[in-house]
Amino acid sequence: MADLRKPIGVGIVGLSATGGWAAGAHLPALRAVDGMELRALAASSEASARAAGAAYGVPAYTSVEQLAGDENVDLVVVAVKVPRHRELVLPVLKAGVPVLSEWPLAVDLHEAEEMERAAGATRTFVGLQGRSSPTFRRLADLVSEGFVGETLSATVVASSTEWGTPVSQNMVYTLDRKLGATMLTIAFGHAIDLVSMVVGELQDVVATTATRRRQVPLGRTGQVVPMTAEDQIAISGTVAGGAILSVHHRGGAASGAGFSLIIDGTEGRLEVTAAEFPHIGPVTVRGTRGDGRPTKLTLPSGYDDYPALAGTVIHTLVHAYAAIRDDLVHGTAVAPDFAHAVKRHRLLDAIVRSAATGRRVAVDGA
């Protein structure tokens, strides 16, 4: 349990002076949360470490071992590409320092399980920040409180512009399904985590996946690069309680990104929409009880502790950091940890196995 008298010191792996997700999202989110502050960082080279250290005014290291060994660092954040998560997370856990890893936790279920085992009693957190979304926490409460009555079905249609449209050289690795940063793990993974939070965990799944675009333009170079990641994912299954969940997620959508969730129950209906990724973007909720037309539902007080940030890309991440702070200070277990990440990886693994065999697959650990 962290010391209540001083801020939680954070060290970030992947915080660059030239920008990126850590600089554009993690750092401003961290700065928005009372009781946490950046204390150090680690970069992959001496030059990048010097530049980042000078840019952010904190000690900069060239190894995660040095970062974890800094007595002022109480939490290490791993915000780099998925294939490097294991090699960076394991030394932090060995040092007994709490760690937050971006999602996906690992390239596959085997790696995720290894990292969970390595954690032992050390506190762990995973970047499924959508679970901290005020809107989705309210949705989960609405369903559990019986707004729609008994849930009968949930239907998701989602699309991503990535995985089919031109890709930058830096993001080519996301096209390789073996590297663990695909549409299935990232876009679908974040979305299904939110849906599961609201309607319950899938007990079994039948999946059909395809890679419809096997070559993708490399920026504006006129060249193409191969893609083995799935760009079409369709699943159905039964969640706890018996409701049917069906999802179709499409990649490389010419019409743009989007997300839609419809929950039908014996007494009502909820309609959830987002223009982009629901775990980081604005979400609209409409609902009705009986046979009336769905109307927009407003968020009651008590859910959003950072309303001034609503609509920004860091809104849910700020809430996630606040939950992590509270877990470290008070010993609670609100923010998702590596055990939760393994549960999500098990579902993704079941989808892959079902798509490969054409059979219904039980989701172990559901």
- Residue 326 counted as domain residue: no
Domain residues for the domain of 91 are 8-129
Is 292 a residue whose pLDDT tops 90? no
220, 182: one domain? yes
Distances (CA, A) of 117 to 95, 110, 120, 125, 285: 14, 11, 6, 14, 38
What number is the average pLDDT over the span 5-18?
94
Instruction: Provide the pLDDT for residue 1.
Output: 57
What CATH number should be reported for the domain holding residue 179? 3.30.360.10
- Residue 321 counted as domain residue: no
> Which of 63, 96, 129 delimits the end of a domain?
129
136, 281: one domain? yes
203, 164: one domain? yes
- Residue 14 counted as domain residue: yes
Distances (CA, A) of 300 to 11, 129, 142: 35, 20, 11
How many separate domains does the chain show?
2
The tokens of 77 are what?
A: 């954040």
206, 257: one domain? yes
110, 197: one domain? no
191, 99: one domain? no
218, 345: one domain? yes
This prediction has a pTM of 0.96
Interval 134-151: pLDDT, tens: 999 999 999 999 999 999
Instruction: Provide the pLDDT for residue 164.
Output: 96
123, 159: one domain? no
- Residue 3 counted as domain residue: no
64 in Cβ contact with 13 (< 8 Å): yes
What CATH number should be reported for the domain holding residue 101? 3.40.50.720
Is 103 a residue whose pLDDT tops 70? yes
135, 121: one domain? no
Q: pLDDT band for position 5 (50/70/90)?
A: low
123, 140: one domain? no
Instruction: Provide the pLDDT for residue 291.
Output: 85
All residues at 6 or more sequence positions from 217 whose CB lies less than 8 Å from its CB, including other chains: 165, 166, 167, 223, 224
Evaluated on CA atoms 26, 23, 83, 213, the torsion sign reads positive
What number is the average pLDDT over the span 229-242?
97
